[in-house]
């Protein structure tokens, strides 16, 4: 499945008082007392508002005991052709089998690529980030390099910009950018991810995709030093400019 079939994790958040009640097995009224007496901290600061919404990466203590202290993980992988974007598969190697990380059991895949597509795959345990990257309303651009069977013309550029009608879903694709880079190659930028979208868009011209490679998702570019099958951790600064990181300041929380 293409991008839209991404593992769209539900953002893990909830009220502080309910979280403490559940974790410490206290009735809500005792939690109120603990909060009022300054026994609860969130990210190192005393918190008295039980209705405060907390997220999976907030550090929470109650009566001096750490209840939650989890750090986010962000990885990029250069997916080779022939590896499947799934956690388990009976026939093919999975992207998770390529990751050798001590906390890999926490990770989920952010937006899938087809079996025969190569390139950038992101993995994380941060559901806010993956939700932001995959939610249709975020319109995060994804850049692909594509090689076709037959020569390309300017008609393709117009068709991609106007949108291509998919009868099966009865929809027209959102405006996409197509830049011709040679007679047979192009760069495609999509802001959505329908099933096999790029192959089907070129299919309208009966022009078969020979190779498809994803080179960027939003602000994250595939590291050119990563060989197919290699991965590395992303630094927080690589996730985007502070202005573009709406998800971090509460968007889609």
Per residue in 15-38, is it b (16+ CB within 10 Å) or e — as a string? Answer: ebbebbbeeeebeeeebbebbeee
Rounded CA-CA distance 74/109 in Å is 10
Q: Is position 126 annotated as part of the catalytic site?
A: no
Give 61's contacts (C-beta < 8 A, 6+ positions apart): 40, 41, 67
Residue 83 touching ligand URA (CB under 6 A): no
Nearest to 151 by CA among 117, 180, 112, 116: 180
DSSP assignment string, 207-234: --EEEEEEEEETTEEPPTTPPTT-EEEP
CB of 23 to ligand URA, least distance (A): 40
CB 216 within 8 A of CB 120: yes
In the shown chain, the binding pattern of residues 179 to 208 toward ligand URA, with x for contact by CB under 6 A and - for none, equals -----------------xxxx---------
Residues in 117-146 at the binding interface with ligand URA, rule: CB under 6 A:
117
Residue 6 binds ligand URA, judged by CB under 6 A = no
The residue (of 128 and 142) whose beta carbon lies closer to ligand URA is: 142
By the rule CB under 6 A, 96 interacts with ligand URA: no
Question: Nearer Cβ to ligand URA, position 2 or 21?
Answer: 2
The closest of 178, 182, 189 to 156, measured between CA atoms, is: 178
Query: Site for ligand URA (CB under 6 A): which residue of 2, 34, 75, 98?
Result: 2
Question: How many residues touch ligand URA (CB under 6 A)?
Answer: 10
- The nearest distance, CB 194 to ligand URA, in angstroms, is 8
**Stretch in the footprint of ligand URA (CB under 6 A) among 28-36, 101-109, 111-119, 156-164:** 111-119
Catalytic residues: 114
């Amino acid at each position: 499945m293409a991008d839209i079939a991404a593992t769209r994790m539900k953002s893990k958040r909830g009220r502080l008082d309910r979280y403490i009640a559940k974790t410490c097995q206290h009735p809500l009224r005792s939690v109120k007392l603990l909060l009022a007496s300054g026994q609860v901290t969130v990210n190192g600061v005393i918190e008295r508002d039980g209705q405060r919404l907390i997220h999976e990466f907030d550090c929470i203590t109650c009566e001096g005991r750490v209840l939650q202290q989890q750090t986010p993980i962000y990885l990029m992988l250069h997916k080779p052709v022939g590896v499947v974007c799934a956690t388990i598969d009976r026939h093919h190697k999975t992207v998770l089998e390529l990751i050798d990380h001590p906390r890999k059991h926490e990770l989920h895949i952010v937006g899938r690529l087809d079996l025969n597509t190569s390139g950038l795959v992101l993995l994380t345990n941060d559901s806010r980030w993956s939700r932001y990257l995959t939610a249709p309303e975020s319109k995060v651009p994804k850049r692909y390099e594509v090689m076709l069977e037959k020569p390309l013309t300017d008609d393709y550029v117009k068709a991609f910009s106007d949108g291509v009608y998919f009868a099966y879903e009865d929809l027209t694709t959102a405006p996409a950018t197509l830049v011709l880079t040679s007679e047979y190659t192009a760069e495609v930028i999509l802001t959505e991810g329908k099933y096999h979208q790029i192959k089907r868009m070129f299919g309208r011209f009966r022009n078969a995709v020979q190779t498809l490679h994803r080179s960027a998702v939003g602000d994250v570019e595939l590291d050119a030093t990563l060989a197919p099958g290699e991965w590395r951790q992303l630094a927080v600064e690589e996730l985007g400019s502070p202005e573009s990181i709406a998800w971090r300041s509460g968007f889609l929380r």
